Structure 1
Amino acid sequence: MTNLMIQATIDATIAEEAIGEDDGYARLTALTKSISSVHPSLENWFSLANTKGGATISLEDKSAFLADAAQNNSQDYAGGFRAVLSTASNDKEWLKPGRALLTFEPGQGYITFEIYDPINAYGEAGASEIFRSSIKAIAQTESIIFSGTDVSTRPQSGKEIKIYMGENQLFPHRRWLGWMGFVPHMVEAKHIPEAAALIPVGTKGTVIVAVDECFDLNNPAHLKRAHRVEARMAHIGLLDVTDTSLLS
């Protein structure tokens, strides 16, 4: 069965805090430096163009990048520094396999890291390794409360795109892990025997891989395994409740 993955997205939760532009820029550059060590295609980062065909700004140009970020924030936004950037230096690279998108928003308490068409860019084994390493790189740099990895997939038939988050996650009222993710706890195989891999991140926590292969939402075995891992995580207290209204 051909894996029809469109993209995969690491969704990481961090503490909510409004930070200034200098602190924000320092954290953002540390984060991209860590991610860039994963693969050469992730070394160069740019702001998003404000118009079609417009210019992007390299993250390395601090003054211009910060000026652009400030301009894109509405005047009534009180969340401090935030940025959205990608590895696409122009419009033509936006739909190039392997294009990455990074959202850094401490004021809202999250970081997302997306790669478009990763299988065509890196192959199945390569894509899986890049996401494992990226989760680890993000956790090494930022204080991650929890992260999971969502995927979007074309169906084998029909037109409706499938995603894991929401429509395929096991618990509607809890966090979801999806393909793989991170918890700030030291986890061993005896704790989650259903996991495909458990990768320690120093003393900061553990990368939990539910499915070894590239996660395929058209593959019932992949969904079953992800659900078994999430069920175990909930049982041992690693999958927090996010909506108590659904418990009644």
Structure 2
Amino acid sequence: MISARIWVDIPEAALDAEAGYRRVQRLLDAFRRVVPDLQHWHGGLNTPRQKYVEFFDKEAMLERIDERMKQYAAEFIHLPHGFLIHLDSDTSSKRTPGLFELGYTPTERSIFLDIYRPDEAFGPSAAQVVRDVLTAIVELEEVEYAFVDVRDRVPDKPRPTTYLVSYAAFLHRKALGWMGYVPRRVTADQLPSAAELVQVPGKGTVIVAVNDAFSLANKAHIKQANIVEMELVDLDLLPVTDPSLQ
């Protein structure tokens, strides 16, 4: 597996720099409880000559956030303006297993968290780590839907691909992929093919399709994820993205 990316849909919000910083700080604290090595996060690159800023250097980071917000507002005058940030857990020029990348853009209703080679970094615990990180996001944010896409190399394709692009069960709906979240309580009777269901109190359900490190070269993994997606359609819990294809 090259990477697993958690895609999260959240309500649109035009946050100021302080409010956005507080929200991201809560997420990073929660991630550290899952992966204790996630002690440092870096970002704030708005021009080619700038150096990374440590996220927890609040004054310096807020300056860079404010600078980026002004750049974005000037460049995209017709789009909603507000807090946005991209952070890496390591500033090394070479990507190493276990690298986390976070994108938090509430004006675009989006959070993503990319984990590079989680199977190498976490071994047999890879599914548990991804599940727990996803659950932490759901606990802290008002999540409307989330899924985990996997990017991988497969023998019959000339270049790396993703579950969403090549293997999702439906072209006109969201995917679930390795695992995901729906804002409703779902039971094992309703979703019998899921490997695991995690109830998030007061919210909904984290759904794990495959409880191993997901591989696009493993036909059993693809089939399992497809079946869970079909069961979600029967429950009207897999959102439609293109009504014209229904």
Superposition TM-score, scaled by structure 2 size: 0.92
AA matched with 2:28: T
TM-superposed deviation, 1:197: 0.4
Residue equivalent to 1:74: 72
Q: In terms of mean alpha carbon deviation, does 235-244 or 70-79 score higher?
A: 70-79
Residue equivalent to 2:87: 85
Please list every run of at least 4 consecutive aligned residues from structure 1 whose deviation after the TM superposition is greater than 4 angstroms: 48-54
Query: In 1, are the aligned partners of 2:215 and 2:221 still within 8 Å (CA)?
Result: yes
AA matched with 1:99: L
AA matched with 1:23: A
For the residues of structure 2 that align with 1:207 and 1:246, how far apart are their CA atoms?
Answer: 27
AA matched with 2:109: G
For the residues of structure 2 that align with 1:158 and 1:8, how far apart are their CA atoms?
Answer: 19
For the residues of structure 2 that align with 1:98 and 1:157, how far apart are their CA atoms?
Answer: 27
Residue equivalent to 2:203: 204
Please, what is the CA RMSD of the aligned residues?
1.7
For the residues of structure 2 that align with 1:114 and 1:126, how far apart are their CA atoms?
Answer: 17
TM-superposed deviation, 1:166: 2.6
Query: In 2, are the aligned partners of 1:48 and 1:84 still within 8 Å (CA)?
Result: yes
AA matched with 2:169: L
- Provide the aligned length of Structure 1 versus Structure 2: 240
For the residues of structure 2 that align with 1:166 and 1:79, how far apart are their CA atoms?
Answer: 30
Aligned pairs for 1:121-200 (under 5 A) are 121-123=121-123, 125-156=124-155, 159-200=158-199
Q: How big is each residue's C-alpha offset from its partner over 1:145-187, in whole Å with a ceiling of 9 and x where there is no partner?
A: 0100000111236641121113211111111110001111111
Query: In 2, are the aligned partners of 1:37 and 1:43 still within 8 Å (CA)?
Result: no
Query: In 2, are the aligned partners of 1:186 and 1:203 still within 8 Å (CA)?
Result: no
SS, match of residue 217 in structure 2: coil
For the residues of structure 1 that align with 2:101 and 2:49, how far apart are their CA atoms?
Answer: 18
For the residues of structure 2 that align with 1:198 and 1:181, how far apart are their CA atoms?
Answer: 10
For the residues of structure 2 that align with 1:198 and 1:144, how far apart are their CA atoms?
Answer: 17
TM-superposed deviation, 1:49: 4.2
Aligned pairs for 1:1-248 (under 5 A) are 5-47=1-43, 49=45, 55-72=51-68, 73-76=71-74, 77=76, 78-88=80-90, 90-92=91-93, 94-123=94-123, 125-156=124-155, 159-247=158-246
SS, match of residue 240 in structure 1: coil
AA matched with 1:127: A
Query: In 2, are the aligned partners of 1:119 and 1:127 still within 8 Å (CA)?
Result: yes
